[in-house]
Structure 1
């Protein structure tokens, strides 16, 4: 359940509009930007994502989906993540680890990272 039964029932039964701040609070939105800035913010995020190692991102994304929708156990999810992760270790992961060890990307700041 993303938002919980109580909040879901409130939205379903009342049909009331949900504000951006409330959607953020409920976990239905990841961020709120000023009116008219959604496209600019989405473009900024897309450009940032394009700078990250794409093969690693694709594997991470696939692992998340597998863990949530297909894994039969926690161990199954870990096995899947390990097997898929090994495939990218010798390519982008090595470059990314070297980049991180030099200080780029630490504390969630990726502006200086070069993948």
Structure 2
């Protein structure tokens, strides 16, 4: 497992936990954080023993977006020892923020505190979203004369009703967790301090399932999203039928008949 000074990596069973770890700056995005995220997504994709990923933040907050103080001072994200990574892959930061990369494994967000600007943009790249009661969401960019270039003008209206997406984008106002749940931005609201526990509980439910089936389902949902229903149903069969031919599918049926938990082997 990797990690950097602003991103910690931990294994909890079959779940990889990535923690944004710059609490003194409300986990504002930094190059070490982005490099750590990129490496974490890569590890999850390449390690078949990892069944799911939980993304969270340290210090009671998720992510306050870009480091505006650094930008105001003329700095960019290349002022530290990790700058060679960005030079080698100029797209690294977009992959880290899930703008230009979709992890193979399900990603569950566990949000406490502020999840605004770039935090809300990164959230849109996750699959399942859990937030604490006092969590705050919002796309604040227009308030600063900036543009939410992390994908929100494209993704948000595909994930929640357009009128809510446009209100969030154009007003730049904060949203409570209850309101975010009501408009469909997040799926669960839990007591403060319990977001990570709920995310890990949800991850365990995912991890208990056939990994080949889980990954095929995730791919099918995303790749058919912009197709017509007829095209999508055709693509679903292309993704779904091969799953039935796997040893895991046979094991699942056998375990059900024998009234025992299945033992899946990614085969």
TM > 0.5 fold call: yes
Aligned mates of 1:51, 1:85 — CA distance in 2 = 19
User: Normalized per residue, which structure has more strand?
Assistant: 2
Aligned to 1:24: 181
Cα contact 2:256–2:262 (8 A) shared by 1: no
Report the 3-state secondary structure (helix = DSSP H, G, I; strand = E; otherwise coil) of the residue aligned with 1:28. Answer: coil
Extract unaligned runs of 5+ from structure 2.
1-156
How much has 1:99 moved relative to structure 2?
Answer: 4.9
Q: How many equivalent residue pairs?
A: 105
1:80 corresponds to 2:235: yes
User: Normalized per residue, which structure has more helix?
Assistant: 1
Report the 3-state secondary structure (helix = DSSP H, G, I; strand = E; otherwise coil) of the residue aligned with 2:202. Answer: helix
| Runs of 4+ with >4 A deviation | 97-102
Structure 1 residues 74 and 99: alpha-carbon distance in aligned structure 2, compared to 1, 3 A threshold: farther
Aligned-pair Cα RMSD in Å: 2.4
Extract unaligned runs of 5+ from structure 1.
105-111
Aligned mates of 1:48, 1:18 — CA distance in 2 = 29
Aligned to 2:225: 68
Residues 90-115 of structure 1: CA distance to partner in whole angstroms, max 9, x if unpaired?
A: 2233333455577x8xxxxxxx8535
1:46 corresponds to 2:203: yes
Residues 65-111 of structure 1: CA distance to partner in whole angstroms, max 9, x if unpaired?
A: 11114x3x322211111122121102233333455577x8xxxxxxx
Structure 1 residues 101 and 24: alpha-carbon distance in aligned structure 2, compared to 1, 3 A threshold: farther
Residues 43-74 of structure 1: CA distance to partner in whole angstroms, max 9, x if unpaired?
A: 111122111000001111111111114x3x32
Report the 3-state secondary structure (helix = DSSP H, G, I; strand = E; otherwise coil) of the residue aligned with 1:32. Answer: strand
If asked which structure has higher relative contact order (CA below 8 Å, sep 6+), I would say 1
